[in-house]
Chains A and B, each alone.
Chain A
Amino acid sequence: MNKKKVLAVASQGGHSIQLMRLKPVFDRYITSYVSSQKRNGMDNFSHVVDANRDSKLRLIQLFFQVLWIVVCKRPDVVISTGAAPGYFAILCGKLIGAKTIWLDSMANAEELSMSGQRAGKFADLWLTQWSEVARDNGPVFGGRVL
């Protein structure tokens, strides 16, 4: 039995759907999920507010929600596909010494998203889903959610 704790974080919609396509990996560990999209009846799930860079106050609320979850769960690994909650989770994960993984959305086929550019710098594993976007000292290509 593998006791490593994983925290899997995504905002909603496409980010969330992409993250959940990694479920075979998550199922091998003790994985908790965080999303701004409500999921009824799901174990180990925390709901956070929906916020983006157009709503500064809610961003602050989101930051503290994510910080609280990270501090309580003490994950060994934090992984996210985006966007704002993932960025905060990677940041908070680094603070508690977790290993962090940023999987940039498939939606960014030519350049990284803003959250991706920011979060990637804090990520121990920085992934893009497009080989064309991979860079030395930047994201690496390691497969795709499709």
Chain B
Amino acid sequence: MILLTVGTQLPFDRLVKIVDDWAGKNPQVQIFAQIASGRYIPKHMPYIEFLDEQHYMELFEQADVILAHAGMGSVISSLISSKPVIVYPRKASLGEHRNEHQLATSRKLSELKGCYIAYEPYELHSLLDQLDSLKGGIISPHANDDLLRTIDNFIAHNL
């Protein structure tokens, strides 16, 4: 099952429509979509505007692949659970966010194992066409040692 999630803050109709189009051509693949307050109504996949935390966790657990906007919550959760995550960044130029940070972040995320970035509809469709080849990443449950040390040193020595 693919869990599509656009986060809680803003709709992302462009992504929902691209995935819905793909779902129409691939009825054998189960997809569940969380679409926030979008105007586009999916025709080929079940959807909900918002999920409470428990429901989200259940769907997240069931999902084989996470498909998300470039939100750090979705990305980090996927990496922690070793689920492959396909990232489709929002574009501020299309009114999908306040600035272009999702594009900038996506370029960086592309270096991470388990993160698959698509910028264009055809790239997203091609990733969806090869779902079985996508592999999850492996990360530590905590921040890297540098960051833990930086913060602990500050607290320990500055008071």
A118 within 8 A of B: no
Please tell me if the beta carbons of A107 and B72 are within 8 angstroms of each other in the complex: yes
Q: A22-B142, A145-B147 are in contact. Are A111 and B79 (CB under 8 A)?
A: no
Please tell me if the beta carbons of B148 and A24 are within 8 angstroms of each other in the complex: yes
Count, A-B residue pairs, CB within 8 A: 121
B interface, size bucket: 35 or more
Please tell me if the beta carbons of A125 and B101 are within 8 angstroms of each other in the complex: no
Main secondary structure of the interface of A (DSSP, over half): loop
| Across-interface contacts of A63 in B (CB, < 8 A) | none
Please tell me if the beta carbons of A113 and B101 are within 8 angstroms of each other in the complex: yes
| Across-interface contacts of A24 in B (CB, < 8 A) | 142, 148
Please tell me if the beta carbons of B107 and A109 are within 8 angstroms of each other in the complex: yes
- What is B's interface to A at a CB cutoff of 8 Å? 7-9, 53, 70-77, 79, 98-99, 101-102, 104-105, 107-108, 112, 139, 141-152, 154-155, 158-159
- 28 residue pairs A–B, Cβ–Cβ below 8 Å: A12-B8, A13-B9, A13-B73, A16-B73, A21-B76, A21-B142, A22-B147, A22-B151, A23-B142, A25-B148, A28-B152, A29-B155, A99-B155, A99-B158, A99-B159, A107-B102, A107-B105, A108-B105, A111-B99, A127-B150, A129-B147, A142-B151, A143-B145, A143-B146, A143-B150, A144-B147, A145-B76, A146-B112
